[in-house]
Structure 1
Amino acid sequence: MQLAFCLYKYFPFGGMQRNFLRIALACQARGHDIRVYVLEWQGEVPEGFELVRVPVRALVNHRRYRKFTDWVQADLARRPVDRVVGFNKMPGLDVYYAGDPCFEQKARALRGRFYRFSPRYRHFSAYERAVFDPTAHTRILMMSPVQKPMFVEHYGTPAHRFHQLPPGIARDRRAPPDAPAVRAAFRAEFGLADEDLLLLQIGSGFRIKGVDRTLAALASLPPPLAARTRLMVIGQDDDAPYRRQAAQLGVAGRVRFFKGRTDIPRFLLGADLLIHPAYNENTGNVLLEALAAGLPVLVTGICGFAHYVADADAGVVVSSAPFVQAELDAELARMLSDEPARRHWARNALAFADSADIYDMPERAADVILGRGRG
């Protein structure tokens, strides 16, 4: 079959983007042809992919997205395919990968009523309805069970159109047999002594991931613990505002920022704790990647995959409704100062990674995409 995948932007270090690539490759491995429509693509193009960079421009994103949709639909009319798979909400999809939370829920919970008269709201609301309306035929690949009730509440989407997928982290995130040696080499490379504590945060989009909360928690540590603690932040974003915040809080000398990297497993093995105090997070693959590496996690409950941390007893989930910075500060200090607890959480994380169904998402998604004809 000929499959068309649509997403606005691809870059190698985004969680949704990595899942798109793994799903598309799983479909290609079954013998199907892959065409990809994007506005922007960063990085290498897999062999055999037909990449179509859609040549549209606009001053604001929602207008550009509408032009993207119109251009793609015109091209598909000239060159039809068997399935259209979207990773952003838009009309005309046979399958939608639900990597984003419910827009309507956010608009009503976080915005004033006048926002619903704005062109931006009208665009994103209409595009979400095109996917979830009861009269639509789009099959929906759900990653977070937390979001499904919200879509049903706002749109009345029939249950049979939802397909719940397991998480899908790469198997190379699992701790290898030589994990202690990898950890020792990593810590030597970055000048970390045995008594030093490495706090790690990973994720593109520093604002939504809560890097400001992490820096505040780091600055709140008691002096003896603070002197031993370093923070590394990895992700594709402008780090200048957070460097300024770190300087204002007096912790700049203990913080390092990195752009997206391909050697994340080394960082997971070399760290002592992953922190992820996100403001909003539909899923959170990095939480499972940490567990697979045996790294304890401190996370806010808003994250769709936070329940795995609690289920595995592999860290701490702090409240996000409402979020209280003092609670995050206290838990960070407690977790960093309690080495026996971290060893306990690490053992539980590794046991969870050995038994849980957290690796097969691309194959399950391909089953749905290829399962039947266009609606």
Structure 2
Amino acid sequence: MNAPIKLAIVRQKYNPHGGAERFVSRALEALAQRGALDVTLLARQWKDGGAGWRCETIDPPQFGRLSRDAGFARAAQHRFGEFDLVQSHERIPGAGIFRAGDGVHAAWLEQLARIQGPLERMTRALSPYHRYICRAEAEMFRHPALRMVICNSMLVRDQIAQRFGVAAERLAVIYNGVDTGSFHPELTRYREGWRRDHQIPEDAPLLAYVGSGFERKGAAAAIDAIVPHPGLHLAIAGEDKHAARYRRQATRLGVADRVRFLGGLPDVKPLYGAADALILPTLYDPFPNVCVEALASGLPIFTTPLCGAAEWVRPGENGWLNDALDTAGLRRSLGAWLERREHWPALRAAARATAEPYTLTRMAGELESLYADLLDA
């Protein structure tokens, strides 16, 4: 019997509400169940290891976020030689595999500039931290050790190819997997109780917004979009240090009674069960897990062309697409959805059918096949 492949997965910090971290957790659990892999997570901070995999802590001193990221990168690099394969989820030159779950940092900065004033743009352009990240990103993609980039969307694949000249054969698109048994249209069993607890009428249309980092993920646009639609409610799940600003926005726009701020949720399934659709008007998101989860739960999604999930959206069938700054367009899309309420069961079925093939087993199999190909080569 062949010895298991020694695989290291590198992710600096665990955030229980973060999409990238949920991907890593799912990937670790799925991969560890397949005996061909001996999986170790290298992290500064994480929860306890799971069945079949272990976590080893790398926690060098840090003095600010630049020192935090650069110090972790240097310490992780010293460990790379201990493993057959290293898959980094951080921008660290020298790993054999990079999973571009956070997309291209330079592309994100370009989108962020769309909502910033001249002074903010100048400050960010001169920021030592962002200059470090962009430099590390470029060095990583051009490093001779890099053999494969795992992209979670064609959006990210194309951006990397165009910006860094990475050859097509070194760019693999593996979509995020979802537990289609846990995220399922039968989550509607939570609907009555959840709505009662949050004082939302049983028959009121409800949008779920799930994501921390409200500026990037478009919380302001989501709040604004419900204004012309009386009776449409919005539940915002996620953490943001400026959450009070968005509460004030809801009050200023006269929709505070129709917006629920839930904070970070340990379990989003009851919210998916209570909602009728997901709204995520994100400026830039490579492929958020929340979109896969929502679709699997039977929720059509409202998102943007610079969200990787747009690749799965068939407008009018399982969701709608509008530019992140096209508030008027988003309002119209919501209006079109509300006018088609008798067709919501078909929309829900189409949403479920979209996500159904993308199981955790499929994702794990695609990853394992990629690792085997790399080792054979």
Same fold, judged at TM 0.5 (above): yes
**Rounded Cα–Cα distance in structure 2 between residues aligned with 1:262 and 1:370:** 35
Counterpart CA distance in 2 for 1:364 and 1:86 is 17
- Correspondence for 2:19 among 10, 15, 21: 15
TM-score, normalising length: structure 1: 0.85
**Partner of residue 204 from structure 1, selected from 206, 212, 218:** 212
In structure 2, distance between residues paired with 1:117 and 1:207:
21
- Aligned residues: percent identity? 26
Residue 161 of structure 1 corresponds to 170
Distance 2:27 2:262 in 1: 27
Query: Residues of 2 paired with 1:38 and 1:45: CA distance?
Result: 11
Contact persistence 1:83–1:374 (CA under 8 A):
no
Change (3 A) 1:173 1:204: farther
SS of the residue 1:298 aligns to: strand
Post-superposition Cα deviations, 1:352-375, rounded to whole Å, max 9, x if no partner, equal: 345x44552233123323443398
Give yes or no for the alignment of 1:63 onto 2:72: no
The structure-2 alpha-carbon separation of the partners of 1:53 and 1:258, relative to structure 1 and needing over 3 Å to count, comes to farther
Structure 1 residues 251-290: aligned runs within 5 Å? 251-290=255-294
Distance in 2 (alpha carbons) for counterparts of 1:197 and 1:114: 41
Unaligned runs of 5+ residues in structure 2 are 114-120
Distance in structure 2 (CA, Å) of the matches to 1:291 and 1:61: 35
- Rounded Cα–Cα distance in structure 2 between residues aligned with 1:191 and 1:72: 48
1:321-340 pair list within 5 angstroms: 323-340=325-342
Counterpart code for 1:207: E
Q: Secondary structure at the match of 1:10?
A: coil
Say whether residues 1:101 and 2:108 are aligned partners: no
Q: Does 1:237 align with 2:237?
A: no
1:53 paired residue number: 57
- Does the 8 A contact of 1:23 with 1:363 survive in 2? no
Q: 1:172 aligns with which of 161, 168, 181?
A: 181
SS of 2:286's partner is: coil
SS in 1 for 2:149: strand
In 1: Cα distance, 2:316 partner to 2:83 partner = 43
Instruction: Verify: 1:123 aligned to 2:132, yes or no.
Output: yes
1:237 maps to amino acid: D
Question: Is residue 292 of structure 1 aligned with residue 296 of structure 2?
Answer: yes
1:37 pairs with one of 24, 42, 45: 42
Q: Which runs of 4+ in 1 moved over 4 A?
A: 106-118
In the other structure, the counterpart of 2:118 is: none
Counterpart secondary structure, 2:375: coil
Report the Cα distance in structure 2 between the residues aligned to 1:84 and 1:70, rounded to whole angstroms: 14
- CA separation in 2, counterparts of 1:372 and 1:149? 22
- Structure 1 179/66 Cα, relative in aligned 2: closer, same or farther at 3 Å? closer
Moved more, 199-208 or 120-129: 120-129
The aligned runs of 1:66-105 (5 Å cut-off) are 66-76=70-80, 80-105=82-107
Residues 151-174 of structure 1: CA deviation (Å, up to 9, x unaligned): 222221122111121331222344
Q: Is the 8 A contact 1:134 1:157 kept in 2?
A: no
Do the aligned partners of residues 83 and 312 (structure 1) sit closer, same or farther apart at CA in structure 2, a change above 3 Å counting? Answer: farther
- Matched length: 363
> CA separation in 2, counterparts of 1:236 and 1:40?
19
Moved more, 251-260 or 117-126: 117-126
Deviations 1:226-254 (A, max 9, x none): xx232211123332222222223232232
Residue 342 of structure 1 corresponds to: 344
Q: Is the aligned partner of 1:152 residue 2:161? A: yes
The alpha-carbon distance between structure 1 residues 339 and 114, as it changes in their structure 2 partners (threshold 3 A), is closer
Q: Distance in 2 between matches of 1:46 and 1:357?
A: 22
Code of the residue aligned with 2:346 in structure 1: it is: H
Q: Cα–Cα, structure 1 residues 342 and 157, in superposed 2: closer, same or farther, change >3 Å?
A: same
Take 2:158 and 2:294, find their aligned partners in 1: how far apart are those partners?
Answer: 28
Could you tell me whether the CA contact under 8 Å between 2:23 and 2:289 is conserved in 1? Answer: no
Inter-partner Cα distance in structure 1 for 2:215 and 2:123:
25
3-state SS in 1 of match to 2:368:
helix
**1:194 paired to 2:191:** no
* Amino acid corresponding to residue 34 of structure 1 in structure 2: V
Contact 1:312 1:349 in 2 (8 A): no
Q: Distance in 2 between matches of 1:350 and 1:55?
A: 41
Q: Structure 1 counterpart of 2:235, which letter?
A: M
CA contact (8 A) 2:94 2:145 kept: no
